[in-house]
Structures are given as structure tokens and as C-alpha cells.
Amino acid sequence: MSRDQASLLQVEALEKRFVIRRGPWSRPLVIRAVDGVSFQVARGETFGLVGESGCGKSTLARCLLRLIEPTAGRVIFDGVDLGRLRPPEMRALRRRMQIVFQDPFASLDPRMSIAQIVEEPLFVHGIGSREERQAQVDATLELVGIEATYRDRRPHELSGGQRQRIAIARALVLRPELVVLDEPISALDVSIQAQVLNLLRDLQEQLGLTYVFIVHDLAIAEYFCDRLAVLYLGAVMELAGREELFRRPLHPYTNALLSGVPIPEPGRRRRQGRIILEGEVPVLTDHRGCRFRSRCPVGKDRERCAEVEPRLEERGPGHRVACHFPGELVTARP
């Protein structure tokens, strides 16, 4: 893929390690939360990051916005390498990239009113006069479907879905180009999830937003994303367009994930064809060979998988897979 103008965000070999010290005499433990991740996001598209809990999704999101400093690698936003920016330049650029967090209960300051919460980013960036800011806040609240009567309420008076709308309003009030959504609907009720998803889709069309959408629910990922990357232990296992990934998953892990999703339709009981992985996500420190091998039904006993770490290679149009034996494990897909 060429680095065309259309690509708004480029991530190159991004890495974030956490060092945990257990004691003065024991060896420090290095956790590779993000371990060499590369991808590009085109302007106006929705790029999905899926994976199980602890695989590094949130850490990656925070590295993208430089809320935490990556250990290595580059993040290029609209042609600008974020790593080379000085703090004031970075602050100016932050206006153009915003994040919505997972938990709408924890991410809003309980002491501030709704209007104050939404106004805060404008205030911090010193934008507009008081009146202009108020007008902008009102417009944004209307955009996310919160009535003006809620302006002076506090977060605890709102339901989960309403709070998440406020969090979205706060991210959008600066009219950013890129919005990172870290599991924006996981904490919401089923009937509210659809409302918020629809809202996000509408806003994307109206404002021409680019989304990086972090999600663990594959059904929602399939519904919402244009292209996706499947993460396992901090690394991309498979990266493809939506149709391609869900119709023709090539990585054993993707296959296992897909077969694990219960489909809301009886008679489609796929328990026979289901791949049940053994064990759970291990903690990744130093490793050799393929990081998925301990649970992989394909490569468990294969020497190649134990010795050589597979690289992310092109196996189809825009379809990249990190596996020595792609496509060997196939789930029947309706």
C-alpha cells in the first residue's frame, strides 16, 4: 500500500513496554503491552482494533494520542511525526485528535456540570470568547442528541447512555479530525448500544470524522468498521478489510475468535464446528517463535512455530496475516 495523501494516520513499528519491579533483588519484568504494531488509517474511514482483554488495545490507543510515551516506533498524523513535536506543537495538534474512553461513569468529573464538561476543552485550548464557547457547546450537545435542559445537570443525574453522549460531545467540541473510541459502548445496555452506534455513524457522516474504534465484540466490529486489525498479546495477527476478514479469516486466532461469537439465531448452533481454545491469554514477556503458539490448535506441535516468529505478510488484497500456516484452520461461515 502506498502512503497516499488519503492516509490520515500512520503507525510504524509502535512499541510500548512496561517494566514492573517486583523487588530490589528480583529481575524486573518487562511487559510488552504493544509490540511492534504498524497500520495506516485513511481519512474518513473507521479502523477497528479487536482483541481480548489485556491484549494492549487501550495502551495502543493512548500511544496514538501520545497520552503515554511509546517506547519505540512512530506515529505520523497528517504527515507530521508526533514524536518530533515539542510540547506546544503537540498541544496544538491535540485539537485535531480526541479520545472517548470506555467507562462513561469514570471519565466525567462528577463535580462539573454538563455544559462545563463539554466546554472544558475549548477553554483549555483558549478558543473563542465566552459567548462563542457557549454557542459551540450548545451546538455540540444538540449534535449528540442531548437536550438543552440538561446543560446544568451533573453526570450522576444521567443514565449511562446519556453520559457516553456527553463524553462524545466533549471529544467533538473541538471539531477534531480523528477520534479514538476505546470501547465506547461496552459499558452500555443492549438497547442503548444501538442508539450510540447510530449516533457515532451519523456524526462521522456529518463531520467527516476518521475513527479508530476499539472493541472486543466482533459482531459490533463487523457492523461498524471498514478495516480491522486483530491484536494478540500486543501484536497484529491479521489485518484486512471487513468483508475479507470476516469472510476469509486466515489466522487461527481470528478463526477461534469468530467461532466463539454466539450468533443470535437458533438452529445456527455451531457448537460442532466451534474451535474452543485451551487456556487463557498468557502474560507476554520474552518469547520465541509465534506468540499464539501456546493456544494454537494448528501450530502447537510444529517446530517452525516454536522457532520462528511469523511476520505480518500480505496473503491477499490488503489482507495481511502473521502466521506460518494461514488458512489451515477454517470455520464454516454462513
Partner 1 sequence: MDEVLLSVRGLRTEFVTRDGVFAAVRDVSFELRRGEKLGIVGESGSGKSALALSIVGLIEPPGRVVAGEVELNGRRISGLPDRQLQLVRGKEVGLIFQDPMAALDPVKSIGDQIVEGIRRHRRHLGRREARRLAIELLREVQVPFAERRLADYPHQYSGGMRQRVMIAIALANEPDLIIADEPTTALDVTTQAQVLDLLDRLVSERRTAIILITHNLGIVAEFCDSVHVMYAGRFVERTTVEQLFRAQAHPYTEALLRSVPRPDRLQRGPLPSIPGFPPSLAHLPPGCSFAPRCPAAQEICRDRAPATVELVSESTPVLAECHFARERLRT
Partner 2 sequence: MIRTVGGRLLGSLAAIFGASVVSFLFLRILPGNPARLILGPLASQQAIQQQVRLMGLDRPIYVQYLRYISSFFSGDWGFSYSNGRPVREVIATRLPASIELGLYAFAFAFVAAVVLALLSTYRHRPVVDGTVRAISFFGLGTPPFWFGLLLLLAFSQALHLLPGPEGRLGPAVAPPPTVTGLYTVDAVIAGQWGTLGNALQHLVLPAVTLGLAPFAYLVRLLRVNLLEVSREQFITVVRSKGVGRWTAYVRHALPNAFLPTLTAGGMVLAQLLAGSVLVETVFNWPGVGALVVDSILRQDYAVVQTFILLSAFAYVALNLIVDVLYGVIDPRVRTPTGAR
Tell me the site size for Mg ion, rule CB under 5 A: 1
Nearer to partner 1, 65 or 329 (CB): 329
- Smallest distance, Å, CB 38 to ligand SF4? 18
Q: Is 24 in the site for partner 2 (CB under 8 A)?
A: yes
Main-chain phi, psi angles of 276, to 5 degrees: -105, 110
142 binds partner 1 (CB under 8 A): no
d(CA 36, CA 235): 6
Which residues share a beta bridge with 320?
Answer: 239, 314
For ligand ATP, give the closer residue by CB, 33 or 115: 33
Q: Determine, following the binding rule CB under 6 A, whether residue 291 of this chain makes contact with ligand ATP.
A: no
- Residues in 46-105 that interact with partner 1 by CB under 8 A: 52-53
Position 281 contacts partner 2 (CB under 8 A) = yes
SS3 260: helix
What Rg do the C-alpha atoms of the chain give, in angstroms? 21
Give the chain's end-to-end CA distance (angstroms, integer). Answer: 30
Tell how many helices (H) and how many strands (E) occur in the chain. 10, 12
| From the list ligand ATP, ligand SF4, partner 2, none, partner contacted by residue 272 (C-beta under 5 to 8 A by kind) | none
Window contacting Mg ion (CB under 5 A); options: 56-64, 76-84, 185-193, 244-252: 56-64
Give the neighbor-by-neighbor strand order of the sheet with 80-81.
Answer: 29-42, 7-20, 72-77, 80-81
CB of 257 to ligand ATP, least distance (A): 13
How many whole angstroms separate alpha carbon 17 and alpha carbon 69? 10
Residue with cell 502466521: 323
Sheet with 235-241, side-by-side order of all strands: 97-100, 178-182, 210-215, 46-50, 227-232, 235-241, 319-321, 313-316
CB of 137 to partner 1, least distance (A): 23
Grid cell locating 136: 459551540
Work out which of 2, 4, 19, 23 binds partner 2, going by CB under 8 A: 23
Cell of 5: 495523501
Can residue 26 be called a binding residue for partner 2 (CB under 8 A)?
A: yes
Sites of contact with ligand SF4 (CB under 6 A): 252, 290, 292-293, 296, 298-299, 302, 305, 310, 323-325
Residue 222 touching partner 1 (CB under 8 A): yes
H or E, element range at 192:
helix 190-207
CB atoms within 10 A of CB 148: 11
Among 48, 56, 73, 326, indicate the residue that binds ligand ATP (CB under 6 A): 56
> What does the binding site for partner 1 look like in residue numbers (CB under 8 A)?
52-53, 159, 161-162, 189-195, 197-198, 201-202, 216, 218-220, 222-224, 242-243, 246, 256-271, 274, 276-277, 279-281, 295, 333-334
